[in-house]
Amino acid sequence: MVYLPNAISKAGWWGFAALMEGKPIDGKDSEVGAVIWVQVRDMK
Residue 12 backbone class (left: φ over 0; alpha: ψ -120 to 50; beta: rest) = left
Task: Report the distance separating Cα 26 and Cα 32, nearest Å.
Answer: 16
Given 3-state DSSP classes, what are the helix, strand and coil percentages for the chain, each rounded to the nearest 5? 0, 50, 50
- How confident is residue 7, by pLDDT bands cut at 50, 70 and 90? confident
Where are any strands of DSSP class E within 1-44? 12-21, 31-40
- How confident is residue 9, by pLDDT bands cut at 50, 70 and 90? confident
**pTM given for the model:** 0.58
- How confident is residue 1, by pLDDT bands cut at 50, 70 and 90? low
Instruction: Report whether 20 contacts 34 (CB < 8 A).
Output: no
pLDDT digits (tens, 9 = 90+) for 20-41: 999 999 999 999 999 999 999 9
pLDDT of amino acid 37: 94
Q: Where are the domains of the chain?
A: 7-44
